[in-house]
Amino acid sequence: MPTASIDLAAVVLAAGQSTRMNSAVSKVLHEIAGEALLGHVLAAVASLDASPVVVVAGRGQDDVAGLASSQGAEVAIQDPPLGTGHAVLQARAALEGFGGDIMVVYGDTPLIRPETLQLLIDRRHQADNPAVVVFGFRPADPALYGRLVLDDSDHLARIVEARDANETEKAINLCNGGVMVLDGAIAFDLLANLGNDNAKGEYYLTDIIAEAAKNGRVCAVIEGDEQEIMGVDHRTALAAAEATLQDRLRAKVLAGGATLVDPGTVWFSADTVVGRDVYIEPNVFFGPGVVVQDNVTIKGFSHIEGAIIGDGAVIGPFARLRPGTELAEDTKVGNFVEIKKAKIEAGAKVNHLSYIGDARVGMKANIGAGTITCNYDGFNKSHTDIGAGAFIGSNSALVAPVKIGDGATVGAGSTISNDVAADDLTVTRAPQKNIAGGAERLRKRYRSEKEARQNDNTKQDK
Ligand code: UD1
Ligand code: MG
Tens-digit pLDDT string for the chain (462 aa):
444 456 999 999 999 777 899 999 999 999 999 999 999 999 999 999 999 999 999 999 999 999 999 999 999 999 999 999 999 999 999 999 999 999 999 999 999 999 999 999 999 999 999 999 999 999 999 989 999 999 999 999 999 999 999 999 999 999 999 999 999 999 999 999 999 999 999 999 999 999 999 999 999 999 999 999 999 999 999 999 999 999 999 999 999 999 999 999 999 999 999 999 999 999 999 999 999 999 999 999 999 999 999 999 999 999 999 999 999 999 999 999 999 999 999 999 999 999 999 999 999 999 999 999 999 999 999 999 999 999 999 999 999 999 999 999 999 999 999 999 999 999 999 999 999 999 999 999 999 999 999 999 988 887
Q: What is the pTM of this model?
A: 0.93
Architecture of domain 8-229: Alpha-Beta Complex (3.90)
37 Cα: distance to centroid of ligand 1 (angstroms): 16
Phi, psi of 125 (to 5 degrees): -105, 20
Q: How far is the CA of 231 from the centre of ligand 1 (A)?
A: 10
Are both 8-229 and 250-426 of the same fold? no
Q: Which atom of ligand 1 is nearest to the CA of 178?
A: 6
Extents of the domains making up the chain = 8-229, 250-426
Q: Whose CA is nearest to atom 37 of ligand 1?
A: 145
Answer whether 47's CB lies under 8 Å from 6's CB: no
Whose CA is closest to atom 19 on ligand 1? 83
Residues annotated catalytic, as ranges: 352
Whole-number Å distance, alpha carbon 131 to ligand 2 midpoint, is: 23
Q: Tell me: domain 250-426, CATH 3.90.25.10, correct?
A: no
Residues near ligand 1 (Cβ within 6 A): 13-16, 56, 78, 81-84, 86-87, 106-108, 145-146, 159, 161, 175-178, 204-206, 231
Instruction: Give CA–CA dist 241/100, Å, rounded.
Output: 32
The residue whose CA has the least distance to atom 35 of ligand 1 is 16
Element at 57 (helix H, strand E): strand 53-58
How far is ligand 1, taken at its centre, from the CA of residue 107, in Å? 10
Q: Per residue in 315-346, is it b (16+ CB within 10 Å) or e — as a string? A: bbbbbbbbebbbbbbbbbbbbbbbbbbbbbbb
Which atom of ligand 1 is nearest the CA belonging to 108? 30
Give the closest residue (by CA) to ligand 1 atom 22: 15
- Report which ligand 1 atom has the smallest distance to the Cα of 86: 23
